[in-house]
Chain A
Amino acid sequence: MTDTSIADEEVARFAAMADQWWDPGGDFAPLHKINPIRLEFIRDHLCELAGTDAKSPIPLKGLKILDVGCGGGLLCEPLSRLGASVTGIDAGERNIRIAASHATRTGLDIKYHRMSPEEAVASGQRYDVVLNVEVIEHVADINVFMEACGALVKPGGSMVGATLNRTLKSLAFAKIGAEYILRWLPPGTHDWRTFVKPSEFSAVLRQQGFVVKDLRGLTYNPVFDEWTLSRDLAVNYLIYAVKSKD
């Protein structure tokens, strides 16, 4: 067996897995459905940060964005298309390879690294924006994790967070409903006890020198099979915070 054939097998294997991440009807279907509304929230706040028009072709040009826990790159690719310079980091080696392989085939220039946020801090890079989307509920120590995420943001930059609230409603909808009844997610995807309340998320952001500017809930509309922004923070929510300049 030659090195070349092994490489081919690797490429084929990761291409097949990338199809799962990138298949809107596959295991990650709920993520694909919720993605547009999250992107809208992110884009609108970042256009405000950059002082650009959301309808212009590359409104995020000039912004350096880090996606912490980037998975297959479902947020990195759209933000790259909007002109941002995007880096994705993830603890999973496989995720990074899938994301990198997909970006290459799509023709997008995105940097992907298997790295923890603490390692990213040590590397010395700083970003205009750090995305912290559906990771905080999966980490071992929220304070350590958030300290690193906060340090990665340049003064005057911002952080976007998205996670699940710890309420009875979220237990019913996000955990039991999504995993066991609707089968949107494989059972065991989430541990409800680690879900983070908006007040807890805000508090830990404030500790890192951020001011919370926006907090929005996400509501699922079963008729249109679509998510919309709402005031109901009880299940899914988005948070936007800006780091002080000094």
Chain B
Amino acid sequence: MNTHCTDTLIVGGGPVGGSLACALASAGISSVVVDRVPAAELLAPNFDGRATAVAQGPKKMLEQIGVWQALGTEVAPIRDIRVADGRSNLFLHYDHADVREDALGYMVENQHLRHAVLTAVTDAPAIMYLAPNEIDALEHSETAVIARLKGGDHITAPLIIGADGRNSFVRDHAGLELTQWPYHQSGIVCTIAHEEPHHNIAHEHFYPAGPFAILPLTGNRSSIVWTESEVDAADIMALPDDDFIWELTQRAGDFMGALEVVGPRWSYPLSLQYTKTSTAPRLALAGDAAHGVHPIAGQGLNMGLRDVAALAEVLADARRLGLDIGSTQVLRKYDRWRRFDNTMMLAATDVLNRLFSNDIAPIRMARDLGLAAVNRIGPLKQFLMRQAMGLTGTLPRLLKGESL
């Protein structure tokens, strides 16, 4: 049995936990990262079939911490976003030229992102990556947390960070109260190959059952995020390939030519959940462990990466003042910084979903006119875009592309 002392114990080696470890390492803060799943399984193509739209701010951070470079060419820029109410002609058009950036965001398949994060984690001498492993017992003293891992080793650190997703062990162990409600919707996710190029345009259609998105991947491929009621989603998932493609084409339209599903189809139940506070004594939560949102605006992982940028900055600054990085005073700053942004995003995605996931005529008309109006009001549209891109508010240094 060994006891290992480190600056931070991070539970969860996914994009959020791994990026946090890399960001901290860039400021000389060491970490032990523990993940339940063996690395090989985490990286298998069938482990996580989703793709993520990484916003500009988080992309700049990933560049700073060496993750973006490890992605190589597995990145597809989104140059245009077209938002439409169902198949209606009234649509909101977002163009990257409007915000003077080369792209509105970047599509990255989660398996590639996981691979890049793990590569950067492995390359950093300040990070010890332990997988598969998990915490058997956890206690905290006045000055440290002490975790006993499966196999008997002990980890001692002034701070534990839960980046262990929606079913966070760290959150539940600390007894942080979780508020949640289900949407009774499921997100069907798959990758399609299509005849015609996508020209790096993302499409989001709002149908009564929920949003339907076509997001450009590398080559002639796109990622589909397709929301249906739980019942309908189960039926659609059970369809044979030909019928599935037919249903998909009904919603996507035929502008991409012939379609083919590549790899497995996935279905995830959708729910909203959040904790009132993301910190407890010697403990902080980041990413889905603290807040899970509706995927309607593609903000889930981006929120998690913004948590990473804020937490890493708060901890690096505290460390450079010689402060105890696990103290309540330091953690409170992180909680405060992120609460406003996260609450706004939770509320916005929830309202969007409620507004669009119905077919009541007056609401439908109002939102069509609303979308068209937003499109004509330059400053408002720019603000909404910059907000979604993670470029507003008091930005952490990493999101501005600066080093810690």
Contacts and interface: CB of A to CB of B under 8 A. Distances in A.
Contact of A78 (B28, B143, B323, B332): B323
Interface in A29-45: 32-33, 35-36, 39-40, 43
A80 B329 CA distance: 19
A43 B321 contact: yes
Contact of B321 (A25, A33, A78, A106): A78
B324 interface: yes
A57 B320 CA distance: 7
Contacts of B28: 57
A32 B329 contact: yes
Interface residues of A, number: 25
B328 A24 contact: yes
Looking at chain B, what size class is its interface with the partner chain? Answer: 10 to 19
A81 B327 CA distance: 14
Contacts of A105: 142-143
Point out which of B27, B142, B336 has the most chain A C-beta atoms below 10 A from its C-beta: B142
Contacts of B321: 36, 39-40, 43, 78, 82
**Majority DSSP secondary structure for residues of B touching A:** loop
A224 B336 CA distance: 9
A128 interface: no
A79 interface: yes
A121 interface: no
Contacts of A40: 321
A81 B322 contact: yes
Interface in B166-199: none
A91 interface: no
A24 B320 contact: no
A106 B320 contact: no
B357 to A, nearest CB: 37
Given A33-B329, A224-B336, 17 more contacts: A22-B142, A24-B328, A24-B329, A24-B332, A36-B321, A36-B323, A39-B322, A43-B322, A54-B320, A77-B324, A78-B322, A78-B323, A82-B321, A82-B322, A105-B142, A106-B143, A106-B324
Sorted nearest first, the 4 A-B pairs with minimum C-beta distance are A78-B322, A81-B322, A24-B329, A82-B322
Interface of A: 19, 22, 24-25, 32-33, 35-36, 39-40, 43, 54-55, 57, 77-82, 105-107, 224-225
28 contacts: A19-B142, A22-B142, A24-B328, A24-B332, A32-B329, A35-B323, A36-B318, A36-B323, A36-B329, A39-B321, A39-B322, A43-B321, A43-B322, A54-B320, A55-B320, A57-B28, A77-B322, A77-B324, A78-B322, A78-B323, A79-B322, A81-B323, A82-B320, A82-B322, A105-B142, A106-B324, A107-B143, A224-B336
